Amino acid sequence: MTTAPARAQRFTDRRVVVTGAAGGVGQVVAGLFREEGARVVATDVAPADGVVPCDLRDDSARDGFVADALAELGGLDVLCNVAGIQQFAEIGKLTPDGLRRHFDINALAPLMLTQAFAEALVASKGNVVSVTSISAVMGQPYNAQYCASKAALLLGMRSLAVELGTRGVRVNCVSPGGIATPMIEAAAAGLPADANWDLVAKSTSVIPGFMPPVDVAESLMFLASDAAASITGANLVVDRGVVW
């Protein structure tokens, strides 16, 4: 039996916060940081082992989580904003509540977390990596609320990259295509029965199928590492080749 080689210890004693860590990309990336020597505080609204429960839409709960994380870690080197939601909805099914929920979780929460952790990141010359989406830069049918919220996150993070870059903090994004997670399965429930699959197929990748979460997680690890020391304000697209 062969043994997998040990991972490089790129994050020994680095202090890391990961959101959306109960499953999918967040769970994988939190595990990889720990494998590489980091001290990790992970959070999610869903309960899971090694995860601090927090509803990031709740201002008080979010502020409390930040205070507790800083107290536990004694500072911060890396913030990974992974938490997000997606629910397909055709135009007639869009609601103010649905739009607010997407913006609160996908855009407002990561921007406010970055603000809350900013001084700690300045002190450590740390960095922020946020999961946006290819949906942030392309129109997709039945996906207006997700596309709009991810576009807000992408441009918000690029703006913060300009502000924080002068203080030694890098801010980057990873934009995945389709990932094999329960979130995409749940999102598909919102597709209309008469969905126009010719339109949906416009965002099909040249390498077939959804990606495993680890493919996206490894991209986050790279941007968070010292190997990306001269990269900021970037949007790393990981989508198996959505070229149309």
Q: State whether residue 46 is helix, strand or coil.
A: coil
In degrees and rounded to multiples of 5, residue 151 shows phi and psi of -65, -40
Asked if residue 30 belongs to a domain, the reply is yes
∠150-206-219 over CA atoms, to 5°? 50
The per-residue pLDDT for range 210-239, each reduced to its tens digit, is 889 999 999 999 999 999 999 999 999 998
- Active site (annotated) includes residue 142: no
206: pLDDT confidence band, cut at 50, 70 and 90? confident
| Average pLDDT value over all residues in the chain | 92
Asked if residue 135 belongs to a domain, the reply is yes
196: pLDDT confidence band, cut at 50, 70 and 90? confident
187: pLDDT confidence band, cut at 50, 70 and 90? low
Asked if residue 9 belongs to a domain, the reply is no
Q: Is the pLDDT of residue 28 over 90?
A: yes
Q: Which of 146, 152, 190, 238 is catalytic?
A: 146
Task: Please name which of 196, 203, 112, 193 lies closest in space to residue 152, comparing C-alpha atoms.
Answer: 112
What per-residue confidence (pLDDT) applies to 141? 86
Distant-in-sequence, close-in-space partners of 106: CB < 8 Å, separation ≥ 6: 84, 85, 146, 149, 150, 152, 153
Asked if residue 242 belongs to a domain, the reply is no
Strand partners, 97: none
Place of tokens 């680095």: 14
Q: State whether residue 165 is helix, strand or coil.
A: helix
Query: Are 19 and 56 a contacting pair, CB within 8 Å?
Result: yes
Asked if residue 153 belongs to a domain, the reply is yes
Cα–Cα dist 214/216, whole Å = 5
What per-residue confidence (pLDDT) applies to 118? 99
Query: Are 62 and 117 a contacting pair, CB within 8 Å?
Result: no
Cα–Cα dist 128/121, whole Å = 8
Cα–Cα dist 170/127, whole Å = 5
pLDDT cut 90: percent of the chain above it: 76
The per-residue pLDDT for range 99-149, each reduced to its tens digit, is 999 999 999 999 999 999 999 999 999 999 999 999 999 888 889 999 999
Query: Are 59 and 109 a contacting pair, CB within 8 Å?
Result: no
Asked if residue 7 belongs to a domain, the reply is no
Distant-in-sequence, close-in-space partners of 131: CB < 8 Å, separation ≥ 6: 20, 25, 80, 81, 82, 84, 173, 174, 175, 176, 216, 220
Asked if residue 5 belongs to a domain, the reply is no
What per-residue confidence (pLDDT) applies to 190? 63
Domain count, the chain: 1
Please tell me the total number of residues recorded for the chain in this structure: 244
Asked if residue 230 belongs to a domain, the reply is yes
Half-sphere exposure of 215 (CA within 13 A, CB side): 15
Cα–Cα dist 80/93, whole Å = 32
What mean pLDDT do residues 34-52 have? 96
What per-residue confidence (pLDDT) applies to 208? 78
pLDDT cut 70: percent of the chain above it: 91
What per-residue confidence (pLDDT) applies to 200? 64
Identity of residue 11:
F
77: pLDDT confidence band, cut at 50, 70 and 90? very high
The per-residue pLDDT for range 16-27, each reduced to its tens digit, is 999 999 999 999
**Which has the higher per-residue pLDDT, 139 or 159?**
159
What per-residue confidence (pLDDT) applies to 113? 99
Q: Is the pLDDT of residue 188 over 80?
A: no
Cα–Cα dist 63/32, whole Å = 26
Full domain range(s) for residue 91: 15-237
For position 214, which CATH number holds?
3.40.50.720
The per-residue pLDDT for range 48-66, each reduced to its tens digit, is 999 999 999 999 999 999 9
What per-residue confidence (pLDDT) applies to 239? 85
